[in-house]
Amino acid sequence: MLTQETKRKIDSARQILVGKVPDPKAQVEQITTALIYKFMDDMDKEAQELGGKARFFTNGFEKYAWTKLMDSKLGGQDRLNLYIEAITSMSQNPQLPQLFRDIFKDTFLPYRDPETLNLFLKEINGFIYEHSEDLGDAFEYLLSILGSQGDAGQFRTPRHIIDFIVAGVDPKKDETICDPACGTAGFLISAYKHILRENKEKSLTPDERKNLMDHFVGYDISPDMVRLSKVNLYLHGFPNPTIFEYDTLSSEEKWDESFDVMLANPPFMSPKGGIRPHRRFSVQANRSEVLFVDYILEHLRPNGRAGIIVPEGIIFQSATAYKALRQLLIEDGLLAVVSLPAGVFNPYAGVKTSILLFDNGLAKKTKDILFLKIQNDGYDLGAQRREIDKNDLPQALEIIKKYKAALKEGEGFEFDEAAKQIAHLVAKEKIAESGNYNLSGDRYIETVNFVNQKWPMISLDEIIDLNFGTRITKKNNEGTLYPVYGGGGESFRTDVFNRENEIVISRFAMSANCVRFVSGKFYLLDSGFTFSIKPEKKNEVLKDFIDKYLLSIQSRIYNCARGHAQKNLDVKQFKELKIPLPSIEVQKEIVEQIEVKQKVIEAAKAVIDNLERERRYFGQPLRKIKDVEWVELGEVAEVIAGQSPEGKYYNETGQGTAFYQGKTEFTEKYLG
């Protein structure tokens, strides 16, 4: 396990280097070289202490031993010269494993400052390892500073997400395991540790452990990543890591290989012009995210299992290749979809992702797909990703395990009340209905929630027409009479209007507050729209009822949004939303009750406003009292920070708890 002391030393080594070696990747290479250098000397000393012989620094390479490099009799310039000579000669050392010779092959020192090197080597010299896995954990932390390889859509997968996926897939000791885009081998190492933990009661025999290590395979197109992943695996006890520099999507060399378990967080981004794959893929596409998912499906054995992180395009995009892939997933092995919050990859990227879990054996035993929504993963969603108490992952993992166990036993499966908050089952038939095979779990929740509804469920498209706003520019239309609205608040003012007393729904750059009532005359831009009741439905539907209902389901409307940095409404999905439609008489009654309650709320607000004015008035004399001691507020009071609820809990219907957000006056937002 990575200790705070080891972490501190790595951070300190980076700080020493940063003035001479500003590039994080180059820092990783320099620290990696030095750590392996010292690690080899540690192993030689341990062997000698046990009565054996040195393995690495022998046959003319004794003078380069770390112990001699750190001899206090050496001056700064002499140590610099010896270090440069050592790292450039090490690739010729026949005593080193080929992996280490490859690492030292192109090694060089990018600076010539003896003082910087002395400080750096002194920090490295402070590392103490009792087992190679300690170095492996330190190396993984070192790799984490690489952060984003964003140009290729590659982002380091957080350890807790890797561990969650591995536990959900549950690889076994006798299974072959592959990561076709392995990066630094995080998934492979997590799977290895998982298998060791699962076999604690009856430890693996030496032969079983050797066979286990032979079952792990990784591919990566980057020679740098291949080198780093090999080192990572070696330092976790793999004597001969089977990691290959291989173009998973374009090469056919390894196409006929198959595996029991596949784990991956493949690159999300495709090069300009797309990928040029061979013709053996089931889905013809040139997008890397589509091809990687297809690749995993193609290379799983008949009862194989997989866990893969995918961008949102795989979940909902309507392009032909995406739809064809989703159809293939549902018909061939998809067991569960786990939606992750958008900040999981912070600070590297705010990209929204999901996890697809496959089980070729169990998927044949069910007509449903399991959907889980992770709101909290144990860390806040800010740039620093600070640890918090809320964490849905353990509960989600428990649900996955119980669901799989029920399918194995051929038993029915029901959620308890706690599980219903984050999970639900959706029939594959239901997902296939529209022909889009959308894998956004939220869009199917309404069916679950309203299954026992006493009124008929009607899609919005059956009863309303959408009326989009019209584009105008501030430059040519500025005035003072009427506010101009887009999908959000007032943009500017103009002397013309095109709407009056209407509900406005956001269309572009949506926020959780995507539905609002605008009173009076105003001008609506094309980034928002209003609606009218279809002429043939005016005797059945009251517009005021639909107004108030839409205000109450903002979270469902927001869930129809698509996109990463900017959320835009999927209008087709919005029109497919179903709402309960009582008789026109009941609609009128509901509207009247809401309006009565709204008047009560407004009256209460007026009373509170008056009391606030009185408080301010009577507070003035207090500040004029003489001969009193004035103290800082912090001496007598404690500041208690508020919290930021998720947008899905907001409403503007007057129901729930009043919500303050940086302002002392009442807003129109409520929680509940």
Domain co-membership, 512 together with 428: no
Name the β-bridge partners of 492: 484
Nearest to 33 by CA among 119, 124, 132, 122: 124
Whether 220 has a pLDDT exceeding 60, the answer reads yes
pLDDT of residue 565: 61
Whether 131 has a pLDDT exceeding 60, the answer reads no
* Whole-angstrom distance, CA of residue 188 vs CA of residue 176: 11
Mean pLDDT, rounded, for 183-208: 88
pLDDT of residue 621: 63
CB atoms < 10 A from the CB of 575, how many?
Answer: 16
Domain co-membership, 405 together with 308: yes
Q: How many angstroms separate the Cα of 72 from the Cα of each of 31, 34, 67, 75, 266? A: 21, 18, 10, 8, 48
Whether 672 has a pLDDT exceeding 60, the answer reads no
Whether 572 has a pLDDT exceeding 80, the answer reads yes
Mean pLDDT, rounded, for 194-204: 87
Does 480 fall in a domain?
A: yes
Helix axes 24-49, 132-144, angle to 10 degrees: 170
More reliable by pLDDT, 557 or 357 = 357
Are 525 and 470 spatial neighbours (Cβ–Cβ below 8 Å)?
A: yes
The rounded Cα 199 to chain-centroid distance in angstroms is 30
Does 573 fall in a domain?
A: yes
Domain co-membership, 641 together with 658: yes
- Structure tokens of 641? 């920070």
Unique residue bearing structure tokens 């103009």: 494
pLDDT in tens, 242-269: 999 999 888 889 999 999 999 999 887 6
Are 307 and 357 spatial neighbours (Cβ–Cβ below 8 Å)?
A: yes
Domain co-membership, 666 together with 530: no
pLDDT in tens, 350-376: 678 899 999 999 999 999 999 999 988
CATH assignment of the domain containing 259: 3.40.50.150
Instruction: State the residue range of the domain holding 670.
Output: 629-672
The sign one gets for the Cα dihedral 570, 575, 579, 585 is positive
Which residues have a Cβ under 8 Å from the Cβ of 314 and sit 6 or more positions away?
Answer: 289, 290, 293, 322, 325, 326, 354, 356, 439
Q: Which residues of 86-103 are buried (b: 16+ CB within 10 A; e: fewer)?
A: bbeebeebebbeebbebb
pLDDT in tens, 617-664: 666 666 666 677 778 887 788 877 766 665 555 555 455 666 665 544
For the ranges 145-149, 553-557, 579-583, which has the lowest average pLDDT?
145-149
Mean pLDDT, rounded, for 492-521: 87
Are 424 and 448 spatial neighbours (Cβ–Cβ below 8 Å)?
A: yes
Domain co-membership, 395 together with 257: yes
CATH assignment of the domain containing 60: 1.20.1260.30
Does 155 fall in a domain?
A: yes
Written as one string, the DSSP assignment of 458-499 is EEHHHHEEEEE-----HHHH--SSEEEESSSSEEEEES--SE
pLDDT in tens, 368-411: 999 999 988 888 877 677 888 899 999 999 999 999 999 999 88
Domain co-membership, 416 together with 486: no
Strand 334-339 and strand 368-373: pairing?
A: parallel
Domain co-membership, 374 together with 283: yes
Long-range contact set of residues 666-672: C-beta below 8 Å, sequence gap at least 24: 666/605, 666/608, 669/513, 671/645
Does 607 fall in a domain?
A: no
Q: Which helix (H) or strand (E) holds 247?
A: none
Domain co-membership, 197 together with 217: yes
Q: How long, in residues, is the chain?
A: 672
Whether 152 has a pLDDT exceeding 50, the answer reads no
pLDDT of residue 244: 93
pLDDT of residue 28: 84
Whether 300 has a pLDDT exceeding 80, the answer reads yes
Are 6 and 127 spatial neighbours (Cβ–Cβ below 8 Å)?
A: yes
Strand 154-155 and strand 578-580: pairing?
A: unpaired
Unique residue bearing structure tokens 């380069």: 64
Burial class (CB in 10 A: 0-12, 13-18, 19+), 162: buried
Given pLDDT bands bounded at 50, 70 and 90, which one contains residue 585?
A: confident
pLDDT in tens, 443-487: 787 554 554 567 888 889 999 999 998 888 777 677 888 888 887
Are 554 and 560 spatial neighbours (Cβ–Cβ below 8 Å)?
A: no
Domain co-membership, 401 together with 423: yes
Q: Which helix (H) or strand (E) holds 315?
A: helix 312-316
Given pLDDT bands bounded at 50, 70 and 90, which one contains residue 68?
A: very high
Could you give the percent of the chain with pLDDT greater than 90? 35
Does 505 fall in a domain?
A: yes
Q: Which residues of 532-555 are buried (b: 16+ CB within 10 A; e: fewer)?
A: ebeeeeeeebbbebbbbbbbbbbb
Are 5 and 123 spatial neighbours (Cβ–Cβ below 8 Å)?
A: no
Q: How many angstroms separate the Cα of 645 from the Cα of each of 345, 516, 669, 671? A: 20, 19, 11, 8
Mean pLDDT, rounded, for 208-231: 87
Mean pLDDT, rounded, for 114-139: 78
Mean pLDDT, rounded, for 418-424: 90
Mean pLDDT, rounded, for 104-108: 85
Are 411 and 402 spatial neighbours (Cβ–Cβ below 8 Å)?
A: no
ω before 347 within 30° of 0 (cis)? Answer: yes
Mean pLDDT, rounded, for 121-126: 91
Domain co-membership, 226 together with 363: yes
Whether 347 has a pLDDT exceeding 60, the answer reads no
Could you give the percent of the chain with pLDDT greater than 70? 86
- Average predicted confidence (pLDDT) for the chain: 84
pLDDT of residue 649: 55
* DSSP conformation class of 654: S
Unique residue bearing structure tokens 């590039």: 23
Does 370 fall in a domain?
A: yes
For the ranges 35-49, 57-71, 296-310, 440-454, which has the lowest average pLDDT?
440-454
Q: Which of 138, 167, 194 is the last residue of a domain?
A: 138
Does 623 fall in a domain?
A: no
Domain co-membership, 244 together with 362: yes
Max intra-chain CA distance, the chain:
98
Q: Which of 92, 119, 138 is the last residue of a domain?
A: 138
Mean pLDDT, rounded, for 559-582: 82
Q: Which of 525, 556, 582 is the last residue of a domain?
A: 582
Does 89 fall in a domain?
A: yes
Query: Count of domains in the chain?
Result: 4
CATH assignment of the domain containing 540: 3.90.220.20
Whether 145 has a pLDDT exceeding 70, the answer reads no
The pTM for the full model equals 0.66
Given pLDDT bands bounded at 50, 70 and 90, which one contains residue 71?
A: very high
Whether 666 has a pLDDT exceeding 50, the answer reads no
Q: How many angstroms separate the Cα of 272 from the Cα of each of 151, 344, 665? A: 11, 26, 51
The torsion angles phi and psi of 15, rounded to 5 degrees, stand at -60, -35
Domain co-membership, 10 together with 91: yes
Whether 13 has a pLDDT exceeding 60, the answer reads yes
